[in-house]
Amino acid sequence: MLIFTKSEMSANRVMKSISDWLERKLFLKVNATKTKVVRPTRSKYLGFTFLKNGGKWKVKPTNEKKKALKAKLSEYLKRNKAVARPLAVTIKRVNEIVRGWINYFRIGMMKQYMEEFGQWLRHKIRVIVMKQWKTNKTIYRNLSYLNRKYKNGISQEDIYKVANSRLGWYRRSGMNVVNFIISKELLETKIKD
């Protein structure tokens, strides 16, 4: 439980009286290591922390929970494992993980984090897509097809440069040509979960 007070002095007084009451009346043992007086912005409760925004107190996910989400998805999206699975299966599982996390933390402020996280996640998916295409010839053919189909207007020369680049999979998948052709909209609407 969290108890909020106006000053540190009153917080210390309330903590002592509540601890005594819990032990005396309810016969509960108060964990001394977890019981502490902290500022709201430094407290953590059920994965949330507090911040003041526009004169009102709001909650947001803790940095530990954000890192845990990325770590879980990084493990699931490891290239050697993810490339072996069908893309639809990978995206379905990623959607389940992300949807569950968002549903739990939806009361918190996380718009900016979700935008950054979305960019990171789309990049990871693009890497898997490119790696599944394997050869330079297939990459060129598929990028050219998607470019024509969705009228992106990217030149064949630029697509050829990406397909035959000597950069690694991660850097090649972050090139502007790939980001425009395998766009956010394409990943969100055309690949069924």
Q: What is the pLDDT of residues 143-175, one digit of tens each?
A: 999 999 999 999 999 999 999 999 999 999 999
pLDDT at 126: 95
Residue type present at position 104: Y
Domain that holds residue 16: 8-61
| Residue 115 counted as domain residue | yes
141's CB contacts (< 8 A; 6+ apart) are none
Q: Rounded mean pLDDT of 99-108?
A: 95
| Residue 157 counted as domain residue | yes
Distance CA 153, CA 144 (A): 10
Confidence check: pLDDT of 190 > 80:
no
Higher-scoring residue by pLDDT: 34, 139: 139
- pLDDT tens-place string over residues 4-41: 888 889 989 999 998 999 989 888 898 878 888 888 88
Alpha-carbon distance values, 187 to 180, 183, 190 (Å): 11, 6, 6
Phi, psi of 50, rounded to the nearest 5 degrees: -115, 150
| Residue 21 counted as domain residue | yes
Q: Rounded mean pLDDT of 115-143?
A: 94
Same domain, 36 and 90: no
Domain boundary among 61, 90, 105: 61
pLDDT at 127: 94
pLDDT at 35: 83
pLDDT tier, 191 (very low <50, low <70, confident <90, very high otherwise) = low
Confidence check: pLDDT of 193 > 50:
no
Show the beta-strand stretches assigned E in 26-166: 48-53, 56-61
Same domain, 154 and 90: yes
Give which of 87, 159, 158 is closest to 126, Cα–Cα.
87
Show the beta-strand stretches assigned E in the chain: 48-53, 56-61
| Residue 120 counted as domain residue | yes
| Residue 3 counted as domain residue | no
pLDDT at 36: 85
Phi, psi of 113, rounded to the nearest 5 degrees: -65, -40
Number of domains in the chain: 2
Same domain, 95 and 17: no
- pLDDT tens-place string over residues 117-129: 999 999 999 999 9
- pLDDT tens-place string over residues 35-89: 888 888 888 889 999 998 888 989 999 999 999 999 999 999 998 889 999 998 9
Under DSSP, the state recorded for 14 is: H
pTM exceeds 0.85 for this model? no
| Residue 2 counted as domain residue | no
Same domain, 55 and 72: no
pLDDT at 139: 95
Same domain, 54 and 75: no
CB atoms < 10 A from the CB of 45, how many?
Answer: 12
